[in-house]
Amino acid sequence: MADLGKKYCVYCLADVTSLRMRCTECQDIELCTECFSAGAEIGNHRRWHGYQLVDGGRFTLWGPEAEGGWTSREEQLLLDAIEQFGFGNWVSCVGLSVNYDDDDVEVELKESCVDMYVRKLKERQRRKNIARDYNLVPAFLGKDKKDKEKPAKRKISKEEKEQRLKLRPLYQFMSSKEIEDFFENMHKERMLRAKLRELQRYRRNGITKMDESAEYEAARHKREKRKENKNTAGSKRGREDGKEGEFAAIENLQGFEMLSDREKVLCSSLNLSPTRYLTVKTIIIKDHIQKRQGIPSKSRLPSYLDKVLKKRILNFLTESGWISRDAS
């Protein structure tokens, strides 16, 4: 005895309760999908007759049927929800896709699955946005041929690098293009300000036409070149006559010709006249000779010789070999 409520194929007697093909021209002619695709004919039914797809809602589209795969009814409910709420609005779609015969556990399970799916979609979209905004994909794959054909980027100055470093915390609020446009506009502003200062300088010098500015710049470069050559020649002469220039403050004083080159440097650094230096040198050497001969020294140094000058001169005479270190 056939089970009540079940439908069977009239050709092969297979169970077609979940999905069957019904002829629209013959009465009580329902075939399974295999017989329909093979063109089965029975009685007055012919394979070219019109047909209607009858779905009981339990036909599994994918997934194992024994484990509760995705059925055609669930597919239809999902499509209806997408049509009503729009693609991507999965939280609202899950409410429409819930069957009335589902218990609370099944409803919560479906909502949990949808919630996990939505969070995955949001995270995927967030990563895509970051990769797109900051050009991470081209940077990872390398520059293509089109990038090589593009003109080279301008050289970033030291001031702009420091400015970019200071504004780095603001990068998180701007896209890559917005950041580059921002610094590019700042560079254009600096260039315009420099151009304005140049035009103002032209105006101060009585120049009112750009043709005249070219002649003015050429003349200015010539003046700067002559000034540079003059400074170079002066520094060269200074190096050649360095000794005379270094001793210019004392070369006209009495006793200058009696000094050695090192003594001239010492007197010039101490701002001490040659005669005074020779006097102090004579007294110190005389006292040193008397001490070596065992004669007590009775000479006194001049009053203008303070402790600092005395120490500098004693060290110089010791290094030059005039007196021994014990005496100094």
3-state SS class at 4: coil
Is residue 53 a contact partner of residue 21, using CB atoms and an 8 Å limit?
A: yes
pLDDT digits (tens, 9 = 90+) for 144-183: 545 555 566 778 888 888 888 888 888 878 888 888 888 8
How confident is the model over 288-322, as pLDDT tens digits? 888 877 777 666 777 777 777 888 888 888 887 77
> What pLDDT, on the 0 to 100 scale, is given for residue 228?
81
Residue 19: DSSP 8-state: E
Secondary structure (DSSP) of 149-174: HSPPPPPPPHHHHHHHHHTGGGGGGS
Instruction: Give the residue extent of every domain in the chain.
Output: 1-56, 158-204, 256-320
Domain 1-56 classification at class level: alpha beta
Average pLDDT over residues 258-263: 81
241: pLDDT strictly greater than 60: no
Residue 296 burial (10 A CB sphere; 0-12, 13-18, 19+): exposed
Least confident of 187-191, 250-254, 316-320: 250-254
Mean pLDDT of the chain, nearest integer: 78
Contacts of 124 (CB under 8 A, 6+ apart): none
- Spatial contact of 9 and 22, defined as CB atoms under 8 Å apart: no
Given this model, what pLDDT does residue 63 score? 63
| Average pLDDT for 213-227 | 81
Instruction: Give the 3-state DSSP-derived string for 37-85, with helices as H, strands as E and coil as C.
Output: HHCCCCCCCCCCCCEEEEECCCCEEECCHHHCCEEHHHHHHHHHHHHHH
| Class of residue 282 by CB neighbours under 10 A (exposed 0-12, middle 13-18, buried 19+) | exposed
pTM over 0.85: no
CA gap 183, 143 in Å, rounded = 22
Task: For strands 60-62 and 70-71, give the pairing.
Answer: antiparallel
Chain centre to alpha carbon of residue 148: 20
Mean pLDDT for the stretch of residues 21-50: 90
pLDDT bin (cut points 50, 70, 90) of residue 192 is very high
What amino acid occupies position 8? Answer: Y
